[in-house]
């Protein structure tokens, strides 16, 4: 199926909801790996809103990207609690382990403050990380 | 008055009937419930610092500068988002607030260039004002941190620029685009420190975006981030004058902001009752034509049209003209002379031209460009309701529940009113979910579907079948017993209603039977009719897609029938509203510009009315109606009509069947063109009298809602005389004793001679700003809504409107139907807008064609095509789009190179001769160049525009 066809289907699925834009963007990002300019335009037409409005929402969230990035992603929390529990000390080795192959995204809070440092890969959360565990996670990502 | 910014109350006014009393900084004030603390403070004479708040968009609460203290409440709430409450005690200026505000301002200024002295907003900048108000003295953070300075400006829009380094991301521009204009072209891209204003997507700039250049964002911007290029070039204005726009029939009022006699910018006036502080690209920005190099400012004459023009003095031009006119009158009689008034000139100027023709020339051969646009409105509404005018004010639309838009494209033709419509149509802005919309138009206009707006029903009818569609709607309303019989009994002639009801109930008028003719699916039509009849307040808005047909007058009456049968007349929110094309169509019609009517729509054969004018003017008037434009041209070809005075109209380009117009003009002995430019008609003229722009004269315009508004002179006429003075001088040269010193005296004469204007005077307009006629002893304040207690004619009249197909029919040689219209950036024949940067949006006329028809002809987007009808042919490029249905093509008529009216026919409205521009059978084929007519005409134009200039002999 073409990208256009699939986006049309996704829009159709969410059309009746209140506030359908975010669920559509999530699905498009998940399935196509990005929300590109053509997708923004098509979603705007489908929801009868302007392409500027879609752009505003897409650009607000780091979870949506304009171009697909085939690399695996590891999200590492660097908010206050994880910082207090030592995440910053893990970062140099994490970056080294990631190299060009893995993308490391900084996020602020994964909701597990008492058991940090924390990271997230896909829908899986990983807590109580130390240097070794984090490196292994990145290498296996 | 010296330059002063328009007052800004911070948040929009509340219209609640309940009052609330509170105390602000010790001052007691009573305001409507729902008013913000910020606005209440402003109304009580205070001024709370603010940056993200402005009174034409709703409160947002992001800048945190307008914090206040409220007794009994915790913290420091934002005054813009806090509504007033009874007994509230507010402090807006305390040491604690000062500290908070200064802290906020420090953050703003830490990322803002400190180049105030060389900034285009210097001394006209809200950021500067607020920094002063909060007493900012130092920025503790320094200026070395990360910042946005040095970001390149976007200069793609011809009229304004966006400088991101000056932007404080208050989002006023985004909100103005969304709430005021309703285009949603702008957004905040990114977030946090990376937030920046963006015109659409990553690759867009302002010109490529959805932006319609209405200027609302520029007006909303508190800094120089969005700024008119003219202000950047010229600096801050020194004074401002409130005047009325000379483009479409909405009649926006603007502040002309001046430096000496130079116009710096036009800014919509917030107190303007027609536009409520909004504007469009034409009125706001497209005024550069006023000083364009093509403008002619010296009178010119020539003995024959094959000669070059000779520049002469006013005296010589006027005596030459008067001698010719008097000679023709002596030889051929008064009936050989006539004149055409302009819907672009003021009421006073129009009145003088018809007075000159009737009282000076001695014939009633006076007509106006409304002949070719809204004459059927005059006939139709006069017949059914008793008044040749729309029934509502523009504000009425905010109380409508169902809008029926037929043959009108408001977002392009009447953009400022279209924004009001959108505000009422949008579910998110209206507690009751907003109004529903029905669009009857062969073309899918923007209102049918655009961001946040969607018509409940679009009936894409076959051009020329308006009457059939409206009769079918009436059939549904009557046969499904949706008629408001109580209203009809009380307000209309019951016998006529019953005749009409029997007529429309006939099965042959059912949507199912008429579907074959109209191509509108019967089920859609039934649903639309039910919605209009039962959806609450139903308001009809219509344009030239109704009038410019062989059944134009029938369609207007069919519209009136629909309004009466559903009781949608005589209160706010309902009514029948013609969208007037030009600024003063209503006024030109009111002023007695038609050959059969004196000012105020009194028939020339009415002895009492005529006697009134004869006595006042000291002349004898002909009791017989004179010739209409097309009859004058016919008579010219026959040899009985010899001279014409045309003020501010280009009949060659705007009237149908260009070749016939050319033949008529060519046959005359004296064609006098009074205009800003050597227009197309001037190719056939013997006398050219230079005109003055709306910026160079005093007078009044009357807009589509019957609102009489003052036009004020902001600079001296480049040609030396205001247009009314030119007409007066011509009258004097012909031996008439006219001595008006100011248009106020002409207005007084109009009021004296016209009952519906009885209470109007220049002084009254100065005091009130504007007034809607009728202004009489019973209604001294004017009449926003008409026919409240009864129709002007007494009982509303139902008229049977039999559908008669036009004689213009498709066939094997001409299988497509052409319909014509306008585009946002251009205006009418383009004489003004083509001479501005508006050509950036629309450099040429394009032919819209459905993909199926294009494929059949091997045409693709941008190809040159030959557009031919039985009358003539032209060439232009094609746009392939499904906006038009298969079998229908559409174009605009803004460019003389295209001359779309070479193609249109001689068919016209049965009652008023309004030409049938909207239906022409055509064929479209691929082409490789201009037609013979276009080439010949280009040569003729060049030849006939030669101006003889005296040259020094060579040494």
Question: What is chain B's percent helix, strand, coil content, to nearest 5?
Answer: 35, 20, 45
Helix ranges (H only) for B435-550 are 466-479, 485-491, 494-505, 511-518, 522-534, 544-547
> B952 pLDDT exceeds 70?
no
pLDDT above 90 for B3:
no
From B17-31, B77-91, B379-393, B885-899, the region with the lowest mean pLDDT: B885-899
The CATH fold assigned to B396-578 is: Dimethylsulfoxide Reductase; domain 2 (3.40.228)
Q: Per the omega criterion (within 30 degrees of 0), is the bond before A39 cis?
A: no
Q: What mean pLDDT do residues B121-145 have?
A: 92
pLDDT tens string B362-381: 999 999 988 888 889 989 99
Q: Is the pTM of this model over 0.90?
A: yes
Record: contact B187-A55, CB cut-off 8 A: yes
Same domain for A131 and A84, yes or no, is yes
Residue B523: per-residue pLDDT: 97
A78 shares its domain with A56 = no
Cβ contact B301:B320 at 8 Å: yes
**For residue A66, is it within any domain?**
no
CATH of domain B316-373+585-757: 3.40.50.740
pLDDT value for B768? 93
* Structure tokens belonging to residue B572: 């706010």
Domain annotation covers residue A68: no
Closest CA to B376 of B545, B544, B550, B552: B552
A53 at B interface, C-beta within 8 A? yes
Q: Minimal Cα–Cα distance from A137 to chain B, Å?
A: 30
Is B209 in Cβ contact with A52 (below 8 Å)?
yes
Residues 6+ apart with CB under 8 A from B613: B358, B598, B621, B753
Question: Which tokens is B180 given?
Answer: 């005021």
For residue A131, what is the domain's CATH number? 3.40.30.10
Q: Let me know whether A51 and A88 are in one domain.
A: no
| B193, closest residue in chain A (CA to CA) | A60
Exposed / middle / buried, residue B516 (Cβ in 10 Å: 0-12, 13-18, 19+): exposed
Judged by CB atoms closer than 8 Å, whether chains meet at B198 and A41 is answered as no
Please list the alpha-helical segments (H only) found in B816-887. 851-856
CA distance B521 to B662: 43
pLDDT category, B830, cuts 50, 70, 90?
Answer: confident
Question: Is the pLDDT assigned to residue A97 strictly greater than 90?
Answer: yes
Q: What is the pLDDT of residue B806?
A: 86
Q: Where do the CATH 3.40.228.10 domains begin and end in chain B?
A: 396-578
Shared-domain flag, residues A36 and A83: no
Asked if B201 lies within 8 A of A48 by C-beta distance, the reply is: no
Interface test with B, best of A50, A60, A62, A65 (most B CBs within 10 A): A50
SS3 B685: coil
DSSP H helical ranges for B788-920: 851-856
Return the CATH number of the domain spanning residue range B816-942. Answer: 2.40.40.20
Q: Does A20 touch chain B (CB under 8 A)?
A: no
Q: How many angstroms away from the CA of B201 is the closest CA of chain A? A: 6
Residue B168 has pLDDT above 50, yes or no: yes
Q: A44 CA to chain B: closest CA distance, Å? A: 8
Residue B474 distance to chain A (closest CA, Å): 32
> Who among B200, B450, B452 is closest to A55 (CB)?
B200
Interface of A with B in 66-125 (CB under 8 A): 66
Average pLDDT over residues B267-273: 95
Residue in B with minimal Cα distance to A64: B190
| DSSP β-ladder status, B816-821 and B771-772 | unpaired
Q: Where does CATH 3.40.50.740 sit in chain B?
A: 316-373+585-757
What CATH number belongs to B19-134?
A: 3.10.20.740
Minimum Cα–Cα distance from A35: chain B residue: B201
Helix (H) or strand (E) holding A136: helix A131-140
Query: Same domain, yes or no, for A48 and A99?
Result: no
**What is the β-pairing status of strands B300-301 and B699-702?**
unpaired
Query: CA neighbours within 13 Å on the CB side: how many for B939?
Result: 6
B57 vs B913, more confident: B57
Write down the pLDDT at residue B400.
Answer: 97
Domain around A86: 73-140
Three-class secondary structure of residue B874 per DSSP: strand
Residue B659 is predicted with a pLDDT of: 84
Whether the pLDDT of residue A108 is over 90: the answer is yes
Q: Report percent pLDDT > 90 for chain B.
A: 83
- Of B184-188, B548-552, B902-906, the range with the highest mean pLDDT is B184-188
Residue contact A53–B187, C-beta within 8 A: yes
Average pLDDT over every residue of B188-212: 94
pLDDT digits (tens, 9 = 90+) for B762-815: 999 999 999 999 999 989 999 999 999 999 899 999 999 999 888 888 889 999
For residues A136 and A84, membership in a common domain is answered with yes
Q: For strand B366-368 and strand B670-675, is the pairing parallel, antiparallel, or unpaired?
A: unpaired
Identify which of B184, B190, B449 has the shortest CB distance to residue A59.
B190
Q: Quick check: is A65 in a domain?
A: no
Average pLDDT over residues B868-896: 90
All CATH 3.30.70.20 domain ranges of chain B, comma separated, are: 160-291
Query: Does A67 map to a domain?
Result: no
Does A49 contact chain B (CB < 8 Å)?
yes
Q: pLDDT (tens digit, 9 = 90+) per residue, B85-102? A: 999 999 999 999 999 999
Other CB atoms within 10 A of residue A100 CB: 6
Q: What is the pLDDT of residue B97?
A: 96
Looking at the predicted structure, is the pLDDT value of residue A78 above 90?
yes
B1 pLDDT band, cuts 50/70/90, is low
Q: For residues B649-677, give the mean pLDDT.
A: 90
Give percent of chain B above pLDDT 70: 99
The span from the CA of B591 to the CA of B751, in Å, is 11
When pLDDT is averaged across residues B324-331 and rounded to a whole number, the result is 96
Task: Quote the pLDDT of residue B822.
Answer: 87
CA–CA gap between residue B805 and residue B13 (Å, rounded): 50
Question: Does position B954 have pLDDT exceeding 60, yes or no?
Answer: no
Q: Searching chain A, which residue's CA lies closest to the CA of residue B203?
A: A37
Distance, in Å, from the CA atom of B168 to the CA atom of B222, rounded to the nearest integer, reads 9
Would the pLDDT of B904 be above 90? Answer: no
Mean pLDDT computed over every residue of chain A: 94
* A51 touches B: beta carbon within 8 Å: yes
CB contact under 8 A, A52 and B449: no
Predicted local distance difference test score (pLDDT) of residue B951: 47
Domain count, chain A: 2
Instruction: Tell me what ipTM this predicted complex has.
Output: 0.91
Q: What span, in angstroms and rounded, lies between the C-alpha atoms of B889 and B883?
A: 10
Measure CB to CB from residue A50 to each of B184, B188, B189 and give the nearest one. B184
User: Is the pLDDT assigned to residue B34 strictly greater than 70?
Assistant: yes
pLDDT mean across residues, chain B: 93
Q: Do A95 and A129 fall within a single domain?
A: yes
Domain B160-291: give its CATH code: 3.30.70.20
Residue B125: name the closest of B135, B115, B140 by CA.
B115
Q: Once rounded to an integer, what is the mean pLDDT over residues B690-697?
A: 96
């Amino acid at each position: 199926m073409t990208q256009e066809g699939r986006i049309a289907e996704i829009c159709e699925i969410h059309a009746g909801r209140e506030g359908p834009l975010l669920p559509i963007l999530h699905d498009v990002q998940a399935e196509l790996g990005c929300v590109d300019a053509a997708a923004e335009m098509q979603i705007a037409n489908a929801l009868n809103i302007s392409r500027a409005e879609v752009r505003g929402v897409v650009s607000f969230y780091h979870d949506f990207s304009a171009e697909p990035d085939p690399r695996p992603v590891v999200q590492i929390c660097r908010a206050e609690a994880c910082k207090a529990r030592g995440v910053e000390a893990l970062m140099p080795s994490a970056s080294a382990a990631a190299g060009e192959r893995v993308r490391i995204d900084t996020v602020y809070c994964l909701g597990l403050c008492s058991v940090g440092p924390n990271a997230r890969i896909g829908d899986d959360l990983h807590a109580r990380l130390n240097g070794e565990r984090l490196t292994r996670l990145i290498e296996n990502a | 008055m010296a330059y002063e910014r328009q007052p800004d109350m911070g948040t929009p006014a509340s219209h609640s009937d309940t009052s609330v009393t509170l105390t602000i900084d010790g001052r007691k004030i009573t305001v409507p419930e729902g008013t913000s603390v910020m606005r209440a403070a402003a109304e009580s004479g205070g001024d709370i610092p603010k940056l993200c708040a402005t009174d034409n968009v709703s409160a947002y609460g992001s800048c945190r500068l307008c914090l206040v203290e409220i007794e009994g409440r915790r913290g420091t709430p934002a005054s813009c988002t806090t509504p007033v409450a009874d007994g509230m005690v507010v402090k807006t200026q305390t040491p604690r607030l000062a500290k908070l505000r200064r802290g906020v301002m420090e953050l703003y200024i830490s990322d803002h260039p400190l180049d105030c002295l060389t900034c285009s907003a210097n001394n006209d900048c809200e950021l500067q004002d607020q920094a002063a108000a909060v007493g900012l003295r130092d920025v503790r953070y320094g200026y070395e941190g990360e910042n946005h300075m040095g970001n390149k400006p976007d200069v793609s829009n011809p009229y304004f620029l966006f400088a991101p380094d000056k932007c404080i991301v208050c989002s006023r521009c985004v909100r103005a685009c969304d709430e005021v204009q309703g285009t949603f072209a702008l957004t905040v891209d990114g977030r946090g420190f990376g937030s920046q204003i963006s015109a659409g997507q990553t690759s867009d700039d302002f010109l490529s975006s959805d932006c319609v250049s209405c200027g609302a964002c520029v007006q909303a911007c508190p800094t120089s981030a969005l700024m008119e290029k003219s202000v950047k070039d010229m600096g801050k204005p020194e004074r401002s004058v409130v005047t009325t726009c000379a483009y479409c029939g909405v009649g926006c009022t603007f502040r002309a902001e001046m430096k000496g006699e130079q116009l710096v910018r036009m800014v919509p006036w917030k107190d303007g009752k027609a536009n409520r502080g909004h504007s469009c690209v034409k009125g706001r920005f497209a005024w550069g034509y006023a000083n364009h190099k093509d403008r002619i400012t010296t009178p010119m004459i020539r003995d024959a049209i094959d000669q070059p023009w000779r520049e002469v003095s006013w005296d010589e031009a006027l005596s030459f003209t008067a001698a010719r006119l008097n000679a023709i009158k002596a030889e051929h009689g008064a009936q050989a002379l006539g004149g055409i008034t302009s819907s672009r000139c003021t009421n006073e100027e129009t009145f003088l031209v018809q007075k000159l023709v009737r009282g000076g020339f001695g014939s009633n051969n006076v007509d106006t460009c409304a002949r070719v646009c809204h004459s059927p409105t005059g006939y139709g509404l006069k017949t059914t309701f008793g008044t040749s005018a729309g029934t509502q004010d523009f504000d009425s639309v905010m109380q409508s529940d169902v809008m029926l838009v037929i043959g009108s494209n408001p977002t392009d033709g009447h953009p400022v009113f279209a924004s009001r419509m959108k505000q009422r149509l949008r579910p998110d802005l209206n507690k009751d979910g907003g109004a529903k919309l029905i669009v009857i138009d062969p073309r899918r206009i923007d209102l049918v579907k655009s961001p946040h707006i969607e018509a409940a029903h679009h009936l894409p009818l076959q051009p020329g079948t308006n009457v059939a569609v409206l009769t079918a709607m009436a059939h549904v309303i009557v046969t499904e017993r949706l008629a408001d019989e109580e209203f009809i009994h009380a307000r209309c002639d019951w016998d006529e209603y019953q005749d009409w009801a029997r007529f429309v109930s006939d099965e042959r008028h059912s949507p199912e039977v008429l579907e074959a003719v109209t191509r509108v699916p019967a089920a859609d039509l039934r649903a639309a009719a039910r919605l209009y009849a039962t959806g609450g307040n139903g308001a009809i808005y219509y344009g030239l897609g109704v009038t410019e047909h062989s059944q134009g007058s029938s369609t207007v009456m069919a519209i009136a029938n629909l309004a009466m049968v559903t009781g949608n007349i005589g209160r706010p929110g309902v009514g029948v509203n013609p969208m007037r094309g030009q600024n003063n169509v209503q006024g030109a019609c009111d002023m007695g510009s038609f050959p059969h009517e004196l000012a105020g729509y009194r028939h020339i054969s009415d002895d009492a009315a005529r006697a009134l004018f004869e006595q006042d003017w000291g002349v004898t008037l002909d009791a017989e109606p004179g010739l209409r434009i097309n009859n004058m041209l016919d008579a010219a070809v026959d040899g009985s009509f010899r001279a014409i005075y045309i003020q501010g109209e280009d009949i060659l380009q705007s009237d149908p069947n260009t070749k016939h117009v050319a033949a008529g003009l060519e046959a005359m002995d004296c064609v006098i063109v009074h205009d800003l430019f050597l227009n197309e008609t001037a190719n056939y003229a013997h006398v050219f009298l230079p005109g003055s722009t709306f910026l160079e004269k005093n007078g009044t315009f009357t807009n589509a809602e019957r609102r009489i508004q003052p036009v004020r002179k902001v600079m001296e006429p480049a040609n030396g005389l205001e247009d009314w003075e030119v007409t007066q001088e011509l009258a004097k040269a012909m031996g008439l004793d006219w001595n008006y010193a100011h248009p106020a005296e002409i207005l007084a004469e109009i009021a004296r001679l016209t009952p519906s204007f009885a209470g109007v005077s220049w002084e009254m307009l100065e005091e009130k700003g504007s007034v809607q006629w009728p202004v009489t002893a019973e209604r001294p304040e004017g009449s926003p809504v008409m026919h409240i207690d009864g129709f002007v004619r007494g009982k509303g009249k139902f008229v049977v409107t039999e559908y008669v197909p036009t004689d213009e029919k498709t066939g094997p040689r001409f299988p497509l139907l052409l319909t014509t219209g306008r585009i946002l950036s251009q205006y009418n024949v383009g004489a003004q807008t083509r001479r501005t940067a508006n050509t950036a949006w629309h450099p040429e006329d394009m032919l819209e064609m459905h993909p199926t028809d294009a494929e059949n002809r091997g045409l693709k987007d941008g190809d040159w095509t030959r557009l031919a009808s039985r009358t003539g042919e032209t060439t232009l490029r094609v746009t392939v789009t499904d906006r038009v249905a298969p079998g229908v093509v559409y174009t605009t008529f803004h460019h003389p190179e295209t001359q779309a009216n070479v193609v249109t026919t001689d068919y016209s409205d049965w009652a008023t001769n309004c030409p049938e521009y909207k239906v022409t059978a055509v064929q479209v084929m691929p082409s490789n160049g201009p037609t013979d007519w276009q080439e010949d005409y280009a040569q003729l134009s060049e030849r006939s525009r030669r101006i003889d200039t005296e040259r020094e002999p060579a040494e």
